[in-house]
Amino acid sequence: MWLPDRRTLLLSLAALTGCGFTPVYGPQGGGTKLLNAVALDEPTDRDSYDFNQRFEERLGRGIGPYQLKVSTAVTSKGLGSLADGQTTRYRLTGWATYTLSPVGVDEVLVSGRTSSFTAYSATGSTVATQTSERDAYRRLMVILADQVVDRLLLEADTLSE
């Protein structure tokens, strides 16, 4: 029983090494270029604070040689309602547009746009609804920051040293 499982595992590993797979934080991976190397603008609101916090959790707080400019936007839409017309659920859709440049230079090395959504319930008390809304915004910024980090890591091997 164990022999076929080991063979499958070994063949899978051999296939990964044969296809040019390189771990992003490995010796030949480009991800180490971005660790503690990406400076962010100071947060101006709760959303940008939550975005920056998650970004720095993943890549560390950087002072250069790269500067990341991020612009986020969020829309809210009511989804469910009661017979009296009261909205019971909201959907938040968010976008993050980003550009990575060398510090002090206008040259764009990597740019893109990412989007995601989350939702929250508005059926509880006023305090519970406000807490749910705040948490949904925070979760959305975490998702967007993770997507931006992932895309930067995918492009990291193209960045100059």
What are 32-36's contacts with CB under 8 Å, separation 24+? 33/156, 33/159, 33/161, 34/59, 34/62, 34/66, 34/152, 34/153, 34/156, 34/159, 35/59, 35/60, 36/60, 36/61, 36/62
Q: How many domains does the chain have?
A: 2
Q: Are residues 42 and 70 in the same domain?
A: yes
Confidence at residue 124, expressed as pLDDT on a 0 to 100 scale: 85
Q: Are residues 47 and 8 in the same domain?
A: no
Percent of the chain with pLDDT over 70: 84
How far apart, in whole angstroms, are the C-alpha atoms of residue 51 and residue 141?
5
Q: Are residues 61 and 112 in the same domain?
A: yes
- Per-residue pLDDT tens digits for 50-63: 999 999 999 999 88
The parent domain of residue 131 ranges over: 34-158
Q: Are residues 61 and 103 in the same domain?
A: yes
- Per-residue pLDDT tens digits for 4-32: 677 776 667 666 665 666 677 666 667 78
The phi, psi pair for 134, rounded to 5°, reads: -60, -40
Please indicate whether residue 8 or residue 126 has the higher confidence score (pLDDT): 126
Q: Give the CATH number for residue 94.
A: 3.30.160.150
How far apart, in whole angstroms, are the C-alpha atoms of residue 144 and residue 47?
11
Q: Are residues 21 and 51 in the same domain?
A: no
Q: Are residues 40 and 100 in the same domain?
A: yes
Check whether 2 has a pLDDT greater than 60: no
- Per-residue pLDDT tens digits for 87-103: 899 999 999 999 999 99
Q: pTM of the prediction?
A: 0.83
Confidence at residue 16, expressed as pLDDT on a 0 to 100 scale: 61
CB atoms within 10 A of CB 4: 8
Check whether 138 has a pLDDT greater than 90: yes
109, 100 contact by CB (below 8 A): yes
Confidence at residue 64, expressed as pLDDT on a 0 to 100 scale: 78
